[in-house]
Structure formats: C-alpha cells, structure tokens
Amino acid sequence: MPLTLDDLFASPGHYLHSFEDGQAVFVPMDRAAYHRSIFLDRRILPASDQSMALPLASLAARVPAAQPTSWIFHMAHCGSTLLARALDDPGASLVLREPLALRQTAIQGDPARLPLVLAMLGKRYRADAPTLVKANVPVNFLLPQIAAAAPDARAILLYLPLRAYLQAILRDDNHRNWLRTVTTQLARYLGDWSALNDAERAAALWLAQVDAFTATLAAMPHARTLDAEFLFNDPVPVLTAAAAHLGVPLEAKALEAVVAGPLFSTYSKNPNVAFDNAARLARAAEVAAAIAPELDAAEAWVARNAGRAVAESALIDAALSR
C-alpha cells in the first residue's frame, strides 16, 4: 500500500529526523533501532539506509494534535544520557534521545515548526506508555513554547549545582569547545558572550538555564527537578521515582537490574569505555584541584549577576528526589 500522511503521523516507524532546505527528512526506524541509537542526531543508527524527504509545507498543513509526551530537559554533561538509557526498555515507553529536528527548531528560532515536531515526537508503540523525549541544551530556550503547547506534560528538569556543573563543563578542551560553540549558536537567546572567558561563559550558561527551568516550573505544574548527584549516588530510588513520575511502565526490579548491569559501569555515551560513579568522583576531584581559580571566578560571576541570593533555590523546592 502507498504511504500516506496519516501513516507518517501515526507510526514511529517513520521518524522525522531533520529539516534540510525546506524538506522534512524521514528515516526508517523500529524498536531495536531506537534502542541502539544512543542519540538521534547524525549518530542515529536507523533500521535501514533508506531515507525520504517531503516538502515541509505539505506536512505543516496537516499536523494533528500531539499525543501526550514526557520529557527530560537538562543542562548537559549532568547524566541525562544515563537517565534516559536507564529508562529505555524496549517493552515499555519509546525513548528518544536528542532528536535533531527539535534541536534545529530551537537553534533556528523557528517555533512555527514546533507543532509538527511535537506531533512526530509523540508517536508511540504502546497506547498506555507515553514516549519519553530527552532534549538537549538549545531546547531549554524553547521551553516557553513547549510549555504553552503542552502545559500538562510530565517533565524532569535535570541539573547540577553550580560548582559540580563547572567541573563537568570546564574539565577539558573538548568540553570547553562545546561551551563556546553552543553559546555562540544560542546568541539569539543569550546575546553576544564573546567577551566572556570560559569560566564566565560556563557560569552564565548555568544561570541562564536555572532561570529557564525556574520559569518552566511555573508554566508546567507536572515538571519536577532532579539534582544529578542524587542519580549518580543512589540510582535505584531515583530511577523508580523518575519512571513513576514520567509514566514509564517499569518496575523497581527491572530498574535494579539495569543499575547492576553494564550501563552503570560504562560511559553512557560510549559503552566501550569503562566508567562508574567512583571514577566520576575521582575525576571531579582532579578537575577541582586543577582549575580552582576558575571555579572561584565563576562562582563570583554568578554572585554578581544572579537576581537572587541562591539562584537554584526554586529548583531545590521542586525536587523529584532529595
């Protein structure tokens, strides 16, 4: 049977991957392909090499209402991939990690595409299991539009306290390059930060995201915050609470097995690299000693620029798990 627009909007097998030159690019996916694709950007591992491009205008005219979707929003480098992969059971909710079309919508500042993206992301395999979307940093600055479109959505706002965040973001040249690149890409939201050094950029990005998350808590009553340190240090109860809050049908025993398995003893973005919480803590201590003056300077920058004495106080008050 020929493929119809209704098929595209109904079946997760047709995944809206990206936008290119006024076209919506779809790739074929199945449960196994989604599960093995740690990220759904250019690193996607589709069900086959075939792809399909359709005029964006033809889709935009037919967008149905999006099905309810659950969300993980995060500050980057704070365990979001670990959290999303831990909740990714092929028999439960479909989990989408960093959809490129959503990131493009944020980077390009084109919220007119958002209804189409949300409708495509909301597709699911089980009627009783909402799809879970792990966004990425640019999407944090699209949160007002997402909240307006789906105010009742369930969400986790994953963050790190300032000093731990700085240690994660400033730990090596690759992460510093990411920091400079993403803050430049987000200039339409953040302004021109070219005069800021790395420590100041990291502090400013943390503060901007704290402010975005604080506003989201007021706009989305089912949003809850999560300090990533709780996930790292005591994962089973945090995962159990997260699954229940997000509507992901996973039992505690299944999550205990995940924590005891390879996911929590390897790097979540690269399963071939050994890494666990002890290694994370050791690395953080080394970084803290190596860049102590920058950490102090960044904290001083936040103290000068935060609009309140304890910038993340609202996040702590709305915690999923303490």
What is the rounded average pLDDT for all residues in the chain? 95
SS (H, E, C) the chain: CCCCHHHHHHCCCEEEEEEECCEEEEEECCHHHHHHCCCCCCCCCCCCCCCEEEEHHHHHCCCCCCCCCEEEEECCCCCHHHHHHHCCCCCCCCEEECCHHHHHHHHCCCHHHHHHHHHHHCCCCCCCCCCEEECCHHHHHHHHHHHHHCCCCCEEEEECCHHHHHHHHCCCHHHHHHHHHHHHHCHHHHCCCCCCCHHHHHHHHHHHHHHHHHHHHHHCCCEEEEEHHHHHHCHHHHHHHHHHHHCCCCCHHHHHHHHHCHHHHEECCEEEEECCHHHHHHHHHHHHHHCHHHHHHHHHHHHHHCCCCCCCHHHHHCECCC
Q: What is the pLDDT of residue 309?
A: 46
User: Cα(316)–Cα(111) distance, rounded to whole angstroms?
Assistant: 30
Q: What is the pLDDT of residues 55-108, one digit of tens each?
A: 999 998 899 999 999 999 999 999 999 999 999 999 999 999 999 999 999 999
Do residues 82 and 74 touch, judged by C-beta distance below 8 A?
no
Do residues 72 and 155 touch, judged by C-beta distance below 8 A?
yes
Q: Please name which of 205, 191, 277, 271 lies closest in space to residue 234, comparing C-alpha atoms.
A: 277
And the tokens for 65?
């209402």
β-pairing, 155-159 vs 52-55, is unpaired
And the tokens for 27?
């790739």
Bridge-partner residues for 160, per DSSP?
A: none
Q: What is the pLDDT of residues 275-315, one digit of tens each?
A: 999 999 999 999 999 999 999 999 999 999 986 545 677 78
Do residues 265 and 136 touch, judged by C-beta distance below 8 A?
no
Q: What is the pLDDT of residue 308?
A: 52
Do residues 123 and 274 touch, judged by C-beta distance below 8 A?
no
Q: What is the pLDDT of residue 148?
A: 97
* Topology given in CATH for the domain delimited by 66-317: Rossmann fold (3.40.50)
Q: What is the pLDDT of residue 104?
A: 98
Torsion of CA 77, 201, 198, 104, to 10 degrees: 60
Burial of residue 107, with CB atoms counted within 10 A of its CB: 0-12 exposed, 13-18 middle, 19 or more buried = middle
Report the first-to-last Cα separation within the chain, whole angstroms: 52
Q: What is the pLDDT of residues 117-129, one digit of tens each?
A: 999 999 999 999 9
User: Cα(146)–Cα(167) distance, rounded to whole angstroms?
Assistant: 30
Residues in the chain: 322
Q: What is the pLDDT of residue 294?
A: 98
Q: Where are the domains of the chain?
A: 66-317
And the tokens for 255?
């999550």
Q: Is the pLDDT of residue 316 over 90?
A: no
Q: What is the pLDDT of residue 2?
A: 72
Q: Is the pLDDT of residue 13 over 60?
A: yes
Q: What sign has the CA pseudo-torsion 270, 291, 170, 175?
A: negative
Q: What is the pLDDT of residue 291?
A: 98
User: Cα(148)–Cα(157) distance, rounded to whole angstroms?
Assistant: 17
Mean pLDDT, to the nearest integer, of 27-48? 97
Whether this model's pTM surpasses 0.85: yes
Q: Is the pLDDT of residue 4 over 60?
A: yes
Q: What is the pLDDT of residue 307?
A: 64
Q: Is the pLDDT of residue 322 over 60?
A: no
- Give percent of the chain with pLDDT exceeding 70: 98
